[in-house]
């Protein structure tokens, strides 16, 4: 009987958590929100979802460009009370 590490499937592939990773960049201006998201994507498994919380309205423009560059996608952009919640999904070919 083989053993697997927590967070990894028996094949050794990382398991994507159903809970999105939160990246809080509220109160920061461009380029900080995108830089924080890029850093979080570096350690996220392919297919993982992350939610960027940002007060900078430029994040609405910058994040889609970043995700296109990295091979991921924007899943949703929501306006909350004074901030944006941008949900992204890391692509399989994402450079991270």
Residues with catalytic roles: 30
| CA distances, 78 to each of 3, 7, 17, 57 (Å) | 41, 29, 21, 12
Whole-angstrom distance, CA of residue 38 vs CA of residue 87: 13
Q: Position of tokens 């392919």? A: 46
Whole-angstrom distance, CA of residue 95 vs CA of residue 7: 21
């Amino acid at each position: 009987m083989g053993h697997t590490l927590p967070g990894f499937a028996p094949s050794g592939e990382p398991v994507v958590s159903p809970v999105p990773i939160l990246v809080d960049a509220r109160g920061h201006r461009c380029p900080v929100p995108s830089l924080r998201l890029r850093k979080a994507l570096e350690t996220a498994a392919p297919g993982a979802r992350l939610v960027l919380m940002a007060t900078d309205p430029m994040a609405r423009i910058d994040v889609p460009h970043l995700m296109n560059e990295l091979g991921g996608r924007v899943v949703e952009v929501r306006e909350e009370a004074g901030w944006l919640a941008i949900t992204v999904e890391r692509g399989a070919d994402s450079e991270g």
